[in-house]
Structure 1
Amino acid sequence: MILNSYERMVARRYLLPGKGEGFIFLVASISLVAVALGVAALIIVMSVMNGFRAELFDKITGLNGHAVVQGYEGRLNDWQPIAAKARSLPGVTSATPLIEQPLMASSNGRVEGVILRGMRLDDIRNNPVIANNVKSGNLSLVTPGSERVAIGSRLADMLGAYPGTTISLISPEGRSTVVGTVPRIVTYTVAAVFEVGVYDYDNAFVIMPIEDAQNMLLAGEAISTIEVQTTNPDKVDQILAPLGPEVRNKGVILDWRQMNSALFQALEIERIAMFVVLSLIILVAVFNILSSLIMLVRAKTRDIAILRTMGASRQGLMKVFVTVGVTIGSLGILLGIVLGAIFLFFRQGVVNAIQYATGANLWDPAVRTLTELPSKTDPFEVGAIILIALVLSFLATLYPAWKAASTDPVQVLRYE
């Protein structure tokens, strides 16, 4: 929308408060702040939701892969041909054998449920989710036959087990004796404590070499799962489709969507719902712009009539008031982007400050799954938020602008 010099001058004049127009300026300022808060709230919430999903996805797939081949009854005996076939498929980057079994762990008189995970030595050391998040101890001490393990940080806190402490793993599937089956109890030394940032993993995982896990569970050469990583997790079902005949009658193929379908569907629904609800804040702010422009038109009726008698066109007056309203909306959007960026940068500090001031635990990892408030800003979503705010601001200016352009200068100057 191109304005000539007098239209720009009039629009600039109407944006600034005149004598006796302080209330109109106050309403316009409130409209600007309301737009800013609406835009900031949308950017913050959508960024946190995106960050939550991305962080959760990275942590989950980092430990569980994009898909798994899971043997019937938790046992996969003839697994080598399946792993070789998986590695040969285009789009597959790795196929890793694992043993995973729920057990009980005991240390310092405390007992907790744990998940035993047996991995090949290279896979333990090269897995960034584990290797890059060691809080204490030395992961390199976890070697086959060493009777050493790595455990999650929250499990370490609950058991009071730290590097150098011994823990006992209890398996109900022990050896048969004349008095029945005796649970198998094996003692290990904690070599390292890791914290991947996902509560369920830090709270339960005990990681050891796969050979030690097979001995602990008396599994022989069998494993329970083959973890598969691909180049495109969104197309994992298509990539692994040729593996179906090889797995048939031995196990099932589960991708990350099937393993965590309820969680990710809930996140997506919540994300959409939050976007719709918070968009109402911008809509309310736009109504404030509408009301402030109506008040401005009413206050400037005499000025508008004089401009009309001096030759101002209806179209020119419409452009003036549309410019005023859109400028208020645009300034609010810019302020909202700045506020959103500042909040996201200091988000964890803000959460900690609120928790300290109120004494409430706003981010309980047991409920939120992740240990810190995540954030990932999507430029396309930010662009959509800006576009929505601009369009609504523009629409809010149409009626006041039309009302101003429809002013009859003869009637106004006759009676005013």
Structure 2
Amino acid sequence: MNTELFIARRLFSSKDSDQRLSRRIVRLAVAGISLGMVVMILSVAIVTGFQREVESKVNGFAAHLQLVNYDSNMSYQTESINKQQPFLNELKAMPFVDHVQQYATKPGMIKTEEDIQGVVLKGVAADFDWRFFESNKVVGQQIELDSLRTNQVWISEQLSNLLKLKLGDSFRMYFLNQNEKVPRIRQFDVGGVYRTGLEEFDRMFVLIDIRHIQRLNSWDENQISGYEIYIRNMDEVDQAEYAVRNLVLANMNDDDSLLRVVNVKRKFPYIFDWLNLLDMNVWIILVLMILVAGFNMVSGLLVIILERTQMIGVLKSLGAANVNVRKVFLYFSAFLIGEGLLWGNILGIVLGLLQHYFEIIHLDPTSYYVDTVPVNISVLHIVLLNVGALVITLFMLIGPSYFVSRISPEKTVRFE
């Protein structure tokens, strides 16, 4: 039997200690640990949820990787590539690839009777994955990309409000190609409205049948702006970029257009750099909360040792070594920390789930890119937080526990 653990358990469950001064101090320390765990769980859940939400929205518009003509710059007026690429089947079969789809973009201008707005048409084909826009749909149906070219387009709710366009309304767009002095005019119908909260992109993109862009650019049916490649895990984007680039180079012929792979993190560095800065804020919060909890437990442990001086003297007179007495108080501290962590986990998870399902706290999407505070409750994160808090706090208590070695049996008599 582990004697030290047995004594610590009896101390933890003892009812006669409720009247002691140390019990009140310890309760404050436990409450501090609980509050710290609540803050840590919510901090990690909110930051990771925010990062995932913004990343998913950016990737929904631009994909994780884009395969484009090497001569195309970062504008949306692109050079074409051949839709028939010899490596497509091999690309789609890569284990980290979730989906591959063709696309084309072209800038234009929407003009109504009262307003005018510059936008970017994003042409989609039958292989387009509608999951992202369906999850952010306000009203409308998917564009029917069958054998006939359709004039149906999807616009954002922001554009809909700005230009006073509703579902079913028609509007004109103007396009100006290079070396053309007279703009081309096309009329389209609003077939759907979406809202992502990412206003920079909502204000820009209009979904349209890709064949309109091919016709506006005088391309044939095999010419597109490029391919969008969706990766299963955002953390694998850099490795995926390297693998896709090697695949493209291995299948490149002298007569083909030179292709390049565009990483979404380098295409929109200001967004992803900002998201990475949030990690530093989380680490600062975690360190501060663990230090506060640790110092609370140190003060509580010292008070407990002072009030249990007689017990320490008895244990030593019975032959217990200093290390055994120290283990008793460390086990006792572990029980107290565990109690604080338990209540902190319950409260933190409940608050996180309430925000996740009921969206209690709202945000300004113009500043934060989301309408409500996003929450990502991860079992792995919670386990790591609990293990880390327990280990670090106990480690901070090792030094103060040496105080028991300064207590001798004969002094306990005088102390009493």
TM-score range, shorter chain: 0.7 to 0.9
Query: Residues 254-283 of structure 1, C-alpha deviation per residue, up to 9 Å, x if partnerless?
Result: 133332444334323421441233321121
Give the 3 Å change call, closer, same or farther, for CA 332–53 of structure 1 in structure 2.
same
Gaps of at least 5 residues in structure 1 are 354-361
Q: Percent identity?
A: 20
Gaps of at least 5 residues in structure 2 are none
- Contact 1:152–1:203 (8 Å) recurs in 2: yes
Residue equivalent to 1:282: 290
Distance 1:331 1:43 in 2: 16
C-alpha deviation, 1:251, in angstroms? 4.2
Residue equivalent to 2:120: 115
C-alpha deviation, 1:129, in angstroms? 1.3
- 2:260 pairs with 1:268: no
1:116-195 equivalence runs, <5 A: 116-120=121-125, 122-124=126-128, 126-140=129-143, 144-173=148-177, 176=180, 181-195=181-195
Distance 1:280 1:404 in 2: 28
Residue equivalent to 2:29: 31
C-alpha deviation, 1:294, in angstroms? 0.9
C-alpha deviation, 1:45, in angstroms? 1.7
Give the 3 Å change call, closer, same or farther, for CA 18–75 of structure 1 in structure 2.
closer
- 2:203 pairs with 1:203: yes
Query: Residues 71-117 of structure 1, C-alpha deviation per residue, up to 9 Å, x if partnerless?
Result: 224444451343x4333334156543311123222335122332211
- Contact 1:142–1:208 (8 Å) recurs in 2: no
Distance 2:334 2:15 in 1: 11
| Aligned residue pairs, count | 399
- 2:259 pairs with 1:255: no
Residue equivalent to 2:337: 329
* Secondary structure, counterpart of 1:343 in structure 2: helix
Residue equivalent to 2:82: 79
Distance 1:318 1:300 in 2: 12
C-alpha deviation, 1:401, in angstroms? 3.0
TM-score (ref. length: structure 2)? 0.83
Distance 2:357 2:18 in 1: 42
* Secondary structure, counterpart of 1:373 in structure 2: coil
- 2:354 pairs with 1:346: yes
* Secondary structure, counterpart of 2:188 in structure 1: strand
Query: Residues 348-404 of structure 1, C-alpha deviation per residue, up to 9 Å, x if partnerless?
Result: 578645xxxxxxxx6222222233332323333322211221112212333443222
1:10-89 equivalence runs, <5 A: 10-12=10-12, 17-19=17-19, 21-22=20-21, 24-71=22-69, 72-73=71-72, 74-82=77-85, 84-89=86-91
1:267-416 equivalence runs, <5 A: 267-309=275-317, 312-347=320-355, 352=360, 363-414=363-414, 416=416
1:236-255 equivalence runs, <5 A: 236-240=240-244, 241-244=246-249, 246=252, 250-255=258-263
Residue equivalent to 1:225: 226
Distance 1:310 1:368 in 2: 64
Distance 1:231 1:306 in 2: 62
Distance 1:36 1:9 in 2: 20
- Contact 1:199–1:370 (8 Å) recurs in 2: no
- Contact 1:199–1:371 (8 Å) recurs in 2: no
Give the 3 Å change call, closer, same or farther, for CA 29–80 of structure 1 in structure 2.
same
* Secondary structure, counterpart of 2:372 in structure 1: coil
Please give the root-mean-square deviation of Cα atoms over the aligned residues, in Å: 3.1
* Secondary structure, counterpart of 1:135 in structure 2: strand
Give the 3 Å change call, closer, same or farther, for CA 399–168 of structure 1 in structure 2.
same
Larger deviation: 10-19 or 70-79?
10-19
